[in-house]
Amino acid sequence: MRPDSTSLTPSPIPTSSPTPTLSPAPVPYCEPPGEFVQGGITYVKRTTIANKDFRQGTSHIWKYGLQYIRGSDKKEVYYCHECTVGKSKQELFVINGTSRIRNHLEQKHQIDPQSGIKRKGSVRKSIIDQQKDAAASNTFFWKESVEKFKELLIRWIVYCHIAFFN
């Protein structure tokens, strides 16, 4: 960089919650099996049966897992290295996008969904962030439930010819 050029880097914004320490790269994993059985269903590693031109996606989820083919219906599923390292049961998500897998990596293994960097140590959201998340999800849930309840109540009243006065 030339001394006379200017750099547009944002200054860090102080926060009240502690900043998590991020690990730049995933730990090296043991070689996953070429084939395994879970719940009576056989799964085969995608690269074992793939064509020569098979290309892995560019998402960071592939640093933490692999594609397997489910024998029963030939669907592609996601095998999580982190679940294996942590001795957790493989959830084997059907691959139809990356959002569900990114959510799994964030919630179960503290891997940032945007950058794909694993957080070291236990990272907790601030109380305010937790309340905001809860309020957002509860508002959506209750709004639909209340509207559905109102609709069903009105249908029931009309269907049963219920009078509110004598």
Reported pTM: 0.54
Report yes or no: 62 and 53 within 8 Å, Cβ to Cβ.
no
CA distances from 50 to 9, 43, 69, 94 (A): 43, 14, 10, 17
Question: Residues in the chain with pLDDT < 70?
Answer: 1-27, 51-55, 121-125, 136-143, 166
Together in a domain, 116 and 128: no
pLDDT, tens digit (0-9, with 9 covering 90-100), for 87-96: 878 888 888 8
Domain that holds residue 83: 21-120
Together in a domain, 110 and 133: no
Helix or strand (DSSP H, E) at 82: helix 81-85
Together in a domain, 116 and 143: no
Please list, in sequence order, all residues whose beta carbon lies within 8 angstroms of the beta carbon of residue 43, skipping any fewer than 6 positions away. 35, 36, 37, 68, 69, 70, 71, 77, 79, 92
Together in a domain, 31 and 49: yes
Supply the pLDDT for residue 156.
93
Together in a domain, 89 and 132: no
Together in a domain, 71 and 136: no
The count of domains in the chain is: 2
Together in a domain, 37 and 111: yes
Does residue 1 fall inside a structural domain? no
